[in-house]
Amino acid sequence: MKYGRTYNFSAGPSMLPEPVLEEVRDELMNFNESGMCVMEMSHRSKVFEDILAEAEKDLRDLLNIPDNYKVMFIQGGGTLQFAMVPMNLMKNGVADYVNTGAWSKKAITEAKKFGKVNVIASSEDKNFSYIPDPAAIQVSDDADYVYICENETINGTTWQSLPDTKGKPLVADQSSMFLSKPCDVSKYGLIWAGVQKNVGPAGMAIVIMREDLIRREDMDPKVPTYLRYDTHADSDSLYNTPNAWAIYVCGKVFKYLKSLGGLEGMAKLNEAKAAPLYEFLDNSEMFKGVVEKHDRSLMNVPFSTGDKELDAAVVKASVEAGFDNLKGHKSVGGLRASIYNAMPKDGVDALIDFLKDFEAKNLK
The set of catalytic residues is 103, 173, 197
Burial 163-187 (b: 16+ CB within 10 A, else e): bebeebbbbbbbbbbbbbbebeeee
